[in-house]
Each structure stands twice: as structure tokens, then as C-alpha cells.
Amino acid sequence: MLVGAAFAVLLIAISDLRTSGRLVARSRSTNAAADRLEELVIDLETGVRGYVIARQERFLKPWKAARAAFPTRAKTLERLAEEPGQKQRVRSIDRDVAAYINEYSVPLVEAVRRNSPAARSIATTEEGRQRIDALRTEFDRFKSTERDLLSSRQRRDDRNAGRAVAGATVGLAGSIVLILGFGGYLVRAIVWPLRRASRLSRQIAAGSLGTRMQEGSVGEIGALERSFNTMAASLEHDREERRRLTDEQAGLRRVATLVAQGGPPDQMFSAVTREVGLLSGADLARMERYEADGTVIGVAQWSKHDEQLAVGRRFSLEGVSIAAQVVETRGPVRVDSFAEAAGQIADEARQLGIRSSVGCPIVVEGQLWGVIAASSRTDVPFPAETESQMAEFTELVATAIANAESQAELRASRARIVAASDLTRRRIERDLHDGVQQRLVSLALGLRAATSEMPSGLDEVEKELTNVASGLGGVLDDLREVSRGIHPAILGQGGIGPALRTLAQRSKIPVELDVRVEGRLPEPVEVAAYYVVSEALTNAAKHARASNVSVAVEVHGSVLRVVVRDDGDGGADPNRGSGLLGLKDRAEAIGGRISVVSPHGAGTTLTAELPLDDETG
């Protein structure tokens, strides 16, 4: 009777274990479905972000595929979720994703196609990030609840194990021989594995996804052990995959931010090289640029160790290398060994202990610009998806390079326009001085000579000639003032110091001048500084009703800093009036910048910073 009762208890416990096993499998399926659904959300974000940055339709492929697959996978997740609250959360996620697609993603894609400036605004990017963060929070809550359900089922397993132990103990009390043998079997075959499963389940729930059960049991317990290990392996793989995707998206986001900000190319090159090296699990990485002489030069490198790849050195493309193979294939390539390879790059690889490399071309506006390569010092091959990861970064690099070249061409064009304008001003000023002014001076001298030789008795004629000579002198003075406004001759003769002192002497209001410049500066810088001070003095006299102006000019490192302050009415708007806008264009054409601070009633401060490097020449 007691043995029968014990068997009954054991059968009930085993039945509960079967049910628990099915529930565990269902929880695993539910978590896997949630992960796949979350990956679709990541694809939605990645696709639309890539399209906004690069404006290429092929970036919308993952976005379109995710839109098509999402409804089916959402229904699958809702079907797998057992708890009503979980089903409701799945429906909420479905609605929020639909809202993200219809209210944000689709309008943003349409805005990019229309080339709307709002498509790249900070507000638009922030809205998308907030929506995706909210969706990830909902996914985290859903999966957290599933883990809690799994823990609850594990506790039921513990209680079932306890009932099994109790049944075995009662059976042992009724029949010592039978129960001892059978009880030993139960303990070894069921109780210990169940306790192990319970303990290891708690470890998994705590985040130790590398935990595994020792397999060896038969029947249901063996199936439970195998299911447990399969579930743990799946959860660990999903976590690593999510971590990889998160790291990749974070890297892309950092590089995309640098591209959008238009930072220095060297900074962007270094950032991309580092991200590629980290994401690919490489030991070293380098970005290389193809030169016109058929060589390749390193422009940025990253290393996990102290040893570094060469940067700034030219390499021949002869022999075995990623750069040479990319020239031939125009696509991603791999080099599995440099052991017997010839060539300068292969020699460098052997010196650094590099075993294998993988690389991807950088194509700018249809032309092969360079290559980025990741290298390993171990025999472990790079993952199959390495090339696709690198391609996403090289496309951002290509966009940044194209933007930088366009900006450089624009700056050069503006500089040429300013230089041509200054040359024209100098020519007009010279023509006025050597031509019209000299003729007016000759006429004035002739009138004075004629007046002095007039015979007596012609007082009225003499008076009229004197008035004409006086008027001619006034015209000559006006012409000299116009000539100085077109281009100050003293600037070319004496430099910025004498030119500014002349401006201060002609100013209608007192000027405190402090010029700390030794020698001559590049001509475009002197001309720009002169017109900055001239325009500021004119504005202070005509519009600001100032009583005093201070001018400070000083060289700081490789920059000429010009500061003009007045005590006038303030309220100047740098975006209104052609004078300040013209100064801004002139300064930016040589790589400088101008800022205006003009609060109402507190005067105006105009600051110009003009670079003294070769770009100003």
C-alpha cells in the first residue's frame, strides 16, 4: 500500500515534470519569437537610418523586409504567449511598431525622397530614437515577465521533486529492501537531476547563460536534460547576437554622427578603423588610400596591442595583400595566410605576426578610393558576416569623403572669388590714382596758375576761376575717399598696422587701437582684417550712436584675432544687412569665422578669427 502510494506520488511528480518541460519549451519558443520580433524592429531602424544618411534605395531592403514580416511574427508571438497580460503587451508592441512605421518611418523616407531639409534635423532623429527606445523597453518588460514565469515553473519543479522524495521515503518505511533499492534509483535517476535542474535554472535566471546540465539520464529526465541544455544554448546565442547587433548599431551611430557633424576626415578615419577592428574581433586594422602613382598609403590604424601598422608610409601593390586584391576584384577579399607571400605589405604582416586578413573596398562616387582591412594574429578565421559589417562602415566613409571634397571645392571657389574681387579692387584703385586723380590734380594746378596770371580788372572772372579750382579740389578729395574705400593703398604698402591707424585717424568717433602684430601677414588675412575693422567703425558711427570704440588685433598661435567693441545702443543683427554678411563670407572663404554679440543697450562686440596657415594664401 505504502509502495503503491509512493509510486502514485512519483507518477504525479513525473507527470508534472512533463508538463513543466513543455512549459519550459514554450517559454523558450516565446523568448526566441520575442528576440526575432525585436530584430525586425532593429532592421526597421537600421534600414531607415542608413537610407537617411546615404540616400540609397538599397538601404531600404531590410526596412521593407521587416515591414512585410512583422505582422506574421507578431501574431506568432501573441499565440505563444500564455498569460493574458503578456498577450496584451504583444498587442501593445504591435500597435507601437505600426505607429513607428506609419507615423515616423514612412513619412521620414518620403521626406528624404523629397530631399526635405527636415529629414536630417536633430528633432527628427531624436523622435526616432525615443520611439525605438520605448519599443525596446516594452520588449525588455515582456521578456522579464517570461523569465519570471520560467522561475515560477522551476519552483513548481522543486515542489514536485520534494513530493517525489516524500513518496520514496514513505515507500522505504513500508518495505526496507524494495524501497532501499528503488529509492536509490529514484534519488540517482530523478531527484538529483531535478535538483540540479532547479539549481542551474536559478543560475540561468540570474544571467549565467553558460550553465549546462550533465547529460546521461534516460527517459524523461534525459529529455529534460537535453531540453534544458538546448534552451540554455539558445538563450546564450540570442544574447550574444543581440550584443553584437547592439555594438554594431552603436558603432554605426557614432560614425554617422561624425559624418553628420562634418568633423575632420582624420578623426572619422580613426573612428571607423577602430569600430571595424573591435566589431570584427581583429587584433589590428588599417584604412588605406590608393595613390595616383599606383601605391597605397595608410591613413588610420587601430591595434589591440602595442604593435601597430604603419600610417603615412607608401606601399607597393606588388605581391599578396588585401589592397592589391581589392584593386583586381573591386569587392571584399580575404587573405588566409602570409607565410609564403611576397611584397611589402606581406613582409609587414609577418613581422607583426599577422596570420590572416579580411578587407572591403571604399568606393567614392563610383571611383575606388581606398580599402579597410582587419587582421588577426590567430588561426581562428573571421566570421562569415565580417565583410557585410565592414561594408556598412565603408559606405559611411565614402559619404564623408564625398562631403569633405565638396566642401573643400566650395571653400577653394569662395577663396578664388574673394581673391579676384580684391585684385579688381586694387586695379580700380590704381587706375583711379594713376589716371583720374592725376588728371584732376593737373587741372587744379592749371586753374591756380591761370588765376595767378590774370590781368587786373577781371575780378569777377578771377573769383569764378577760384571757385572752380576750390570745387575741383573737393571733387579730388571725394575721389580719394572713394579710392580708399575700394582698396586702401596703404594696406599693400605698410601692412595691417599702418592701415588700421589710418582708419582710426579718419574715424568720426574716438578709437582706442591696440595692434600687436610683427611683420607682414598673408595678404588675404590683412585685407579681411582691414575690412572687418572698417565695417565695424562705420556701423558704430552711423547706427550705434557710440561715443568710443576699441580695436584689438593680436596673433594667437596660427590665428589672427580681431576684436572691435563699441559702447553704442547694441541690438545689431548679423543676419541683416549686406555689410556683416559680406564680412562673414570673406572670413569663411579663407577658413575663418566671425561672431557678433550685441545685446540691446550694452554695445556691440565683433570678433573675427582668421587662420594664418597656407590655406589663406
- Is residue 253 domain-resident? no
Classify 613 as helix, strand or coil: coil
pLDDT tens by residue, 36-81:
888 888 888 888 778 778 778 887 888 888 888 888 888 888 888 8
Measured CA to CA, the distance from residue 112 to residue 386 in angstroms comes to 29
- Is residue 189 domain-resident? yes
CB 272 within 8 A of CB 393: yes
Co-location of 297 and 414 in the same domain: no
- Is residue 254 domain-resident? no
Q: Which three cell numbers stand for residue 290?
A: 590608393
Is the pLDDT at 130 greater than 90, yes or no? no
Pairing of the two strands 549-556 and 511-516: parallel
- Is residue 34 domain-resident? yes
- DSSP letter (8 states) at residue 41: H
Co-location of 222 and 310 in the same domain: no
Is the pLDDT at 440 greater than 90, yes or no? no
Co-location of 379 and 441 in the same domain: no
Q: How confident is the model at residue 4 (pLDDT cuts 50, 70, 90)?
A: low
Q: Which three cell numbers stand for residue 312?
A: 603615412
Closest CA to 465 of 480, 479, 452, 481: 452
- Is residue 256 domain-resident? no
Classify 275 as helix, strand or coil: helix
- Is residue 542 domain-resident? yes
pLDDT tens by residue, 374-402:
999 998 888 888 888 788 878 877 777 76
Residue ending a domain, among 352, 376, 408, is: 408
H or E stretch at 565: strand 559-566
pTM to 2 decimals? 0.39
Backbone angles phi and psi of 601, in degrees to 5: 80, 5
Measured CA to CA, the distance from residue 110 to residue 116 in angstroms comes to 9
Torsion angle of C-alpha atoms 443, 445, 449, 452, degrees rounded to 10: 110
Q: How confident is the model at residue 205 (pLDDT cuts 50, 70, 90)?
A: confident
Measured CA to CA, the distance from residue 101 to residue 2 in angstroms comes to 65
Co-location of 329 and 444 in the same domain: no
Please give the share of the chain, as a percent, with pLDDT higher than 70: 73
Instruction: Tell me the mean pLDDT in the region 164-176.
Output: 67
H or E stretch at 607: strand 604-611
- pLDDT for 617 equals 44
Closest CA to 550 of 583, 507, 520, 580: 507
Instruction: Give the amino acid at 402.
Output: A
Instruction: Tell me the mean pLDDT in the region 598-607.
Output: 86
- pLDDT for 562 equals 93
- Is residue 578 domain-resident? yes
Instruction: Tell me the mean pLDDT in the region 507-531.
Output: 86
Name the range with the highest mean pLDDT among 285-294, 491-500, 607-616.
Answer: 285-294
Number of domains in the chain: 4
Closest CA to 561 of 539, 580, 519, 533: 533
Q: Look up the domain containing 177 and give its range.
A: 2-248
Residue ending a domain, among 485, 513, 528, is: 485
pLDDT tens by residue, 74-100:
888 888 887 888 888 888 888 888 888
Co-location of 322 and 392 in the same domain: yes
Residue ending a domain, among 387, 408, 429, is: 408
Co-location of 272 and 380 in the same domain: yes
Closest CA to 254 of 224, 232, 223, 276: 276
Co-location of 516 and 607 in the same domain: yes
- pLDDT for 386 equals 85
Instruction: Tell me the mean pLDDT in the region 584-610.
Output: 85
The CATH number for 375's domain is 3.30.450.40
- Is residue 257 domain-resident? no
Co-location of 142 and 185 in the same domain: yes
Co-location of 281 and 291 in the same domain: yes
Co-location of 239 and 331 in the same domain: no
End-to-end CA distance of the chain: 107
Co-location of 418 and 564 in the same domain: no
Q: Which three cell numbers stand for residue 339?
A: 607565410
Is the pLDDT at 269 greater than 90, yes or no? no
Those residues with Cβ within 8 angstroms of residue 207's Cβ, 6 or more apart along the chain or in another chain: none
The CATH number for 541's domain is 3.30.565.10
Co-location of 424 and 348 in the same domain: no
> Considering the chain, what is the average pLDDT of its residues?
78
SS (H, E, C) 436-460: HHHHHHHHHHHHHHHHHCCCCCCHH
Is the pLDDT at 162 greater than 50, yes or no? yes
